Amino acid sequence: MSESDTILSTLADGVLGLTLNRPEKLNAFNDEMHLALRAGFERAHADSAVRAVLLTGAGRGFCAGQDLGDRDPKKGVPDLGRTIETFYNPLLRLIRSLEKPVICAVNGVAAGAGANIAFACDITLAARSARFIQAFAKIGLVPDSGGTWSLPRLIGEARAKALALTAEPLGAETAADWGLIWRAVDDDTLMEEATALATRLAAGPTRGLGMTKRAIQAAATNSLDEQLDLERDLQREAGRSADYAEGVSAFLEKRKPEFSGK
């Protein structure tokens, strides 16, 4: 894993905590933070001790998207497609393809790519005071980090277009009411609730949870027939897991299961 203080990393109870850590810039991404966050998610893929990820931000913001000081056209016309190809798209793919739960705790403003990364996570909680801004329209850009894909799917085309074209901030409670995120919680309980959720999921049947994530995501492009076949195949695999054996034994023996993640 790359050594950088732009991402704070912890591992406890199977939860890999990744904290965006450029608080003086509301955790806007510079290249170093991009690489360090990617290294964190690569570790989550490779390390079997990691059974869930908890992503959050240090300070008063979650993430203000790209550090615009690093992509200032006055310093030469930038190739933003390259930035997307090099940094954001690999990150989005790592989050979505990780067969372990990714919890996101949005502790404050989430703007631009910062908002869309939060929407790409599996379960997103936000502090009641947090807001989400599709800031791209304010600077002549197009939503990225999967925003043009996730927004219409999560909230429908009308709301997606209005948010993206106006860049109006959306409060956490409305985001939850609309189904953009899982839940808005009191600011002072956000990290406690997010950590408890991540810890609970990290103690869960990791392979089954991972396949559940894969199946739900596949539904975005599958027909019902394809999805039914996929469920059959994944259930066959899940049924052979140690965690299925443990789950059924625990149920029959009226005790709490102890899942190994295998």
Task: Give residues 103-122 in contact with ligand LHQ (rule: CB under 6 A).
Answer: 109, 111-113
Q: Which is nearer to ligand LHQ, 16 or 92 (CB)?
A: 92
Cβ atoms within 10 Å, residue 236: 9
208 binds ligand LHQ (CB under 6 A): no
Q: Which is nearer to ligand LHQ, 107 or 199 (CB)?
A: 107
20 binds ligand LHQ (CB under 6 A): no
Region near ligand LHQ per CB under 6 A, out of 40-48, 129-137, 235-243, 250-258: 129-137
Closest CB 245 distance from ligand LHQ, rounded Å: 45
136 binds ligand LHQ (CB under 6 A): yes
25 binds ligand LHQ (CB under 6 A): yes
Q: Which is nearer to ligand LHQ, 65 or 204 (CB)?
A: 65
Burial 141-162 (b: 16+ CB within 10 A, else e): bebbbbbbbbbeeebeeebbee
* Closest-CA residue to 152 (of 113, 105, 116, 126): 116
137 binds ligand LHQ (CB under 6 A): no
Q: Which is nearer to ligand LHQ, 133 or 180 (CB)?
A: 133
Q: Which residues bind ligand LHQ (CB under 6 A)?
A: 25-26, 28, 64-69, 71, 80, 83-84, 109, 111-113, 133, 135-136, 138-139, 141, 144
